[in-house]
Each structure stands twice: as C-alpha cells, then as structure tokens.
Chain A
Amino acid sequence: MADVILEVKNLTKHFKTKRGLLHAVDGVSFTLERGKTLGLVGESGCGKSTTGRTILRLIEPTAGETIFEGTDVNKLNASQLRHARKDMQLIFQDPYSSLDPRKTVSQIIAEPLQANKIFKTKEEIEARVEELMATVGLAPRLFNTYPHELDGGRRQRIGIARALAMDPKFIICDEPVSALDVSIQAQILNLLKELQEERGLSYIFITHDLSVVNHFSDDIAVMYLGKIVEKAPSEELFANPVHPYTQALLSAIPVPEIGEKRERIIIKGEITSPINPPDECRFYKRCNYACDKCKSLPELQEIKPGHFVACHRIGEI
C-alpha cells in the first residue's frame, strides 16, 4: 500500500456569476504519494490554479473532500486550518506580486515564523532566516535588501524560502518558473528538485508548460474546463496519450530541434465557456473525433495500471 499524503475526492468549486454558475473545478479526484510530484497541466481557464487554492482552502470548496494525512482539511475551523497550513504551503507564479514590496528579504522570510510563534527570541528567528536563505541559495548580504532590487530568479528563491520556513511536508507550486527566463528557470527547477530529495517533500506542480512538467513530475493530470481528462505516469502519458485533447496539447509543444518534425494536431476553436456547461464531454465542441456518444459526460476509466482517461471513444480512435 502506497504511502498517500494527500487524497482529493470529488473536489468541486462553482462560482456564482451574473451569467450563471461558473464550473471552475468540477469533481476533481486524485491521490498524491509522499515524496512524489503530481503535475497538473492545462491551458488558462482550465481550473488548475483554482484546484490548488481550493486544496489549501484559500478558496472555499463547494463540495468534496481534501484528506491530508488522514484529516479532512475542509472540516477544520479557522485556527485548526492555520495549524494545518504549516504542513501545506504554496509557491506563487509571479515573483513580483507575491512579495510585499515594503518588506525586506529577511522580514518576508521571517513572517511565517513570527505569525506561528515558532521562536521566542529575535536571534533564533534571525538564525533560522539565515539558514533558510542559505538553503535556497540566497547570499547573506541580501538580508536587508528589498525585493524590487532583485531579479526574478532571486525573488522566486525568497518565495521558496518563505514556503520552507515552517518545514512543510507538501507544497503546491503554482507555475513557479513561467515568469522566469530559461537559464534562471533551470536553476529554480533544480533547486526545487534538490529540496524534494533532501526533505522528502511532496509537490503538486501546476503549469501550462508541458516540457517542464514532463521533466519534473512523476504523474501528470491533464485538466480541461474544470475536469481531469487524462491522468498517467509521465512517461506513459508522453508515450501513449489517449485523450484527443492530450494528444493535441502534446503535439503543439514547439520542440527546439530541427529535422524531426512531428505531426501537429491543430484543434479548432478556443476553449468554451465554463459557465453553465452542458452535460456533454467538455471537449465535445473542439474534438476532431466527437460523435453522438460524446453528448454525455465521460467518466475517468483505468485503461492500464495507473493510466486513467475520460473519453467515450477509447479504443476507437
């Protein structure tokens, strides 16, 4: 039996809007094993970030359970939740807006320690901040600098140090490298990977960049309009994508190699509205293989051990 740190069951978030009910996250279920990484992939508006925030209850879920180490996070009261969040952290996409511009680097990293009253004296806090800065590769002389004086990569390191301050077991990385240049992106990815190996961290890695997620994750879940359409171990997913959307998504990645031009599947149109979606396969209107069967919602089925697909036409296409 695998050591499961997080189990999400039927997580749902609907927002009320003037035009109807927006299905941001629509019955998402998955499990995450300790020390592993689950990649959550999809295009803008597919609900991947909302899923991450709903797990941490930064957004209150409409329905569903989030079982973290045996307790349902959705049933905790405010102070229990604050306690639970010591173990569950978030790294943000934008290293600019996620750091308070009026605070120095050390103040930012010290804040979780102060808020949770971990240490009694100022010296202990400072020592811990210095230790954290060393862990993420920030030079000690940056202690009193302000974020706006630093580049994106360093800022992202501050965000990581802040997330690590409470020694969490599980971190949601919400597009942690998409705002960074390639050479810096590689530095941060390597850092996250090393931290995982040293500390046995479990990650949910949210991204739209498929080549990054392939490199980083053990399992990948592909989301489309609030639903997981396909979920499999990374190698399996890249080798045998089954869902038509996954296939199109994978073929759309520009590969920095010449010569081997792969067949590109261009899907028609753009993402449809998540407001009051009809009870048909969410991909129905754009799918090249759509047929009458697809006018009902497909369920995730296991087609191989660990490989789940939600499509009515498995095996036919």
Chain B
Amino acid sequence: MTKKNTTINVENKEQYKKRSMWAEVWRNYKKNPSAMIGLVIVVALVLIAVFARIYFDFDTDIVQQDVQNKFAHPNGEHWFGTDHYGRDVFTRVLYGASYSLIVGIISVSISCLLGSTLGVVAAYYGGIVENIIMRICDVFVGIPSILLGVAIMSAFGQSIAVLMWAIGLVYVPMFARIARAAVLPVRDQEYIEAARVIGVKDGAIMVKHILPNALSPIIVQTTMGVANAILTASNLSFLGLGIPVPAPEWGAMLSESRNYIRDHGYLTIFPGLAIMITVLAFNLMGDGLRDALDPKLKK
C-alpha cells in the first residue's frame, strides 16, 4: 500500500481544470466498452420506441387482422413473419418497445421514489422509525414478487396503469433497503453534524446532503431495476395479467404464440430476443455505472 499525495496543488497549476463529479463519472464510464454497448442499445431502443409510435398507426398497422396471411414465415415482406392473425411480427416487436420502456421506467420511478424516501428516512432517524419501516419491508420481501404482482393485478383489474403500480410497489422494499444501506455511512459523516450546527433543518439535510452522497447505489439499482421491471411486466403479461391484448407487449406476444411454438418457432423467438436484448442492455449499463461511480475502482 503506498500513500500517494492525491491533492492537487492549485497554487502551482495555472491551468486549473474544474471537473465536476458527473464529468468524472462519464470519463470513467466511457472507458468501459460493454457499458457503452449497453448505453447504445438503450438509446437505440428509445429511438425505436419513439419512431414506432410516430410512424405506425395502432389500429391499422398493429392490431388489424389479415387472416389470409397468417403464419407467414420470415420473408422479404414480413421480416419476422406474421402471427396467427396475420399481423406483422416485426412491426409489433418494434411497437412493443414503447410498452416495455414505459412500463419499465415508470414503475421503477415509482419504486425508486417511494423506496428511497422510506430508506433515507429510516436510516436518518434510526430507532423505532427505522424498525417499523424496515420490518414492513422485510415482510414484503418475503413474498415472491410475481405472486405479489399477481395479487395486485387481480385485485385492481387489468390495465397498464395498474401494471405499473403493481410492479412499482413490488420493488419498493428493495429500494428501501438499498437506500438505507447507502445512507447509513453518510449519516455518520461529520458534514451532516456540521449542517446541523449551522442551522440547517432535517428535511433540507436529507435532500441537500444525504441524498446526493448516497445516490450512486440508488442510480445503479434504478438502471438494473428497469431490466427487472421489464422482465416482471413480461412475466405478468405472459400469465395474461399484464397489458390487455391485443397490445403488442412482448410478454403477451410470447404468451399468445406459445401454442404454435412447434410449427412456428419464430413467433416466440423474436419477442423473446427483444426482451433479452433490452434486459441485457440495461444490466450492462447498470454494471458500467456501478464501476464508474465507485471511487475505489479509480486508481
């Protein structure tokens, strides 16, 4: 272990470069090829989702049946073939990206907001508050997430909004735990005490000092969480509890086509691949972010 002098002596450096924390993170992130691949795929997915919405018309391009043309194998006209109603799988897969992304991002935002707030409050106040919050979270972690999702969906009915809330709530305890773990070491730092001495109120301390310093693991978890949420949404749709048919949600497409898997395997392959690539991309991004945000990995 060598102790190196890492402080920059500004006096001697006329050309003093100001580098904010996020610029530093981006610099580290760029060095990681697999993280960059993840980022490129995610950006591409977002673009696909946006343009699919603009370019295709839901009624005529996505759900209109063309029974004469059903079960066309992939060919020049239908790149991914057509399904049992003769709908073009390629268009449906492209259009489906928007469902997955919206469900993934919004539901993770819900769990991130609720979960982090609970976690931060629990860790900051400690004691009885922490015990109540964390024990309730423990109870929910004990229930398999799919089961919980199924329960919520069947209780509140089937719609995209309920789906997002269901998935969002399922992941709240996980975020609460991660946020709490991230806040605990920050809470004991002297600058928190310093803020109290100079008269900053508790709420402001949490928002201005604790959250920014505990953000890294939460950001990483959010990215990874999107992948999980997309997967859960697909699972629920596969079970017939997700976004109602005939919307081209990838999980629902898998579910519909599973009866024809023996003769028309391509029907399951393409939506399956889409889910896999999306989940992989978000996971690569999450991994890359974790490495970029972790100061221990910097030399």
Given A102-B213, A151-B7, residue A112 in contact with residue B199 (CB < 8 A): yes
- For the complex, what is the distance from the CA of A94 to the CA of B195, rounded to whole Å? 15
**Nearest CB in chain A: distance from B293 CB, A:** 12
Residue on A nearest B8 in the bound complex, by CB: A149
Residue on A nearest B204 in the bound complex, by CB: A115
Given A100-B209, A115-B204, residue A162 in contact with residue B10 (CB < 8 A): no
- For the complex, what is the distance from the CA of A10 to the CA of B21, rounded to whole Å? 47
Q: Which of A82, A89, A149, A150 has the most CB of B within 10 A?
A: A149
Residue numbers in A under 8 Å from B189 (CB-CB): 97-98
Question: B10 and A82: CB pair below 8 A?
Answer: no
Select which of B9, B16, B190, B212 is within 8 A of A102 by beta carbon.
B212
Residue numbers in B under 8 Å from A152 (CB-CB): 7
List residues of A whose CB falls within 8 A of some B CB.
Answer: 53, 56, 58, 82-83, 85-86, 89-90, 92-94, 97-102, 111-112, 115-116, 139, 141-142, 144-146, 148-152, 159, 162-163, 165-166
**Nearest CB in chain B: distance from A90 CB, A:** 5
Select which of A86, A90, A151 is within 8 A of B194 by beta carbon.
A90
Select which of B9, B193, B198 is within 8 A of A111 by beta carbon.
B198
Q: B174-201 interface mask toward A, CB cutoff 8 Å, 1 = contact, 0 = none?
A: 0000000000000001110111111111
**Nearest CB in chain A: distance from B103 CB, A:** 32
- For the complex, what is the distance from the CA of A116 to the CA of B201, rounded to whole Å? 10
Residue numbers in B under 8 Å from A139 (CB-CB): 10
Question: A85 and B200: CB pair below 8 A?
Answer: no
Select which of B18, B193, B195, B199 is within 8 A of A144 by beta carbon.
B18
Given A97-B190, A98-B190, A142-B10, residue A90 in contact with residue B195 (CB < 8 A): no
How many residues of chain B get a CB closer than 8 Å to chain A's CBs? 24
Q: B23-55 interface mask toward A, CB cutoff 8 Å, 1 = contact, 0 = none?
A: 000000000000000000000000000000000
A-B contact pairs, 28 of them (CB 8 A): A58-B196, A83-B199, A85-B197, A85-B199, A90-B193, A90-B194, A92-B193, A94-B190, A97-B189, A97-B190, A97-B191, A98-B191, A99-B191, A100-B209, A100-B213, A101-B21, A111-B198, A111-B200, A112-B200, A115-B204, A139-B10, A141-B16, A142-B10, A145-B18, A148-B7, A149-B8, A162-B198, A163-B198
Overall SS of chain A's interface: loop
Residue on A nearest B205 in the bound complex, by CB: A115
- For the complex, what is the distance from the CA of A159 to the CA of B193, rounded to whole Å? 12
Residue on A nearest B18 in the bound complex, by CB: A144
- For the complex, what is the distance from the CA of A101 to the CA of B24, rounded to whole Å? 13
Question: B197 and A89: CB pair below 8 A?
Answer: yes
**Nearest CB in chain B: distance from A201 CB, A:** 16
Select which of B9, B193, B200 is within 8 A of A115 by beta carbon.
B200
- 10 cross-chain pairs, A with B, having the tightest CB-CB distances, nearest first: A112-B198, A98-B190, A115-B200, A151-B7, A100-B191, A102-B212, A82-B199, A97-B190, A115-B199, A90-B197
Question: A85 and B191: CB pair below 8 A?
Answer: no
Given A102-B212, A145-B10, A150-B7, residue A89 in contact with residue B191 (CB < 8 A): no
- For the complex, what is the distance from the CA of A111 to the CA of B199, rounded to whole Å? 9
**Nearest CB in chain A: distance from B213 CB, A:** 6
Residue numbers in A under 8 Å from B194 (CB-CB): 90, 92, 98-99, 159, 162
Select which of B10, B20, B190, B198 is within 8 A of A150 by beta carbon.
B10
Residue numbers in B under 8 Å from A159 (CB-CB): 194
Select which of B193, B199, B212 is within 8 A of A58 by beta carbon.
B193
- For the complex, what is the distance from the CA of A223 to the CA of B209, rounded to whole Å? 34
Residue numbers in B under 8 Å from A151 (CB-CB): 7, 9
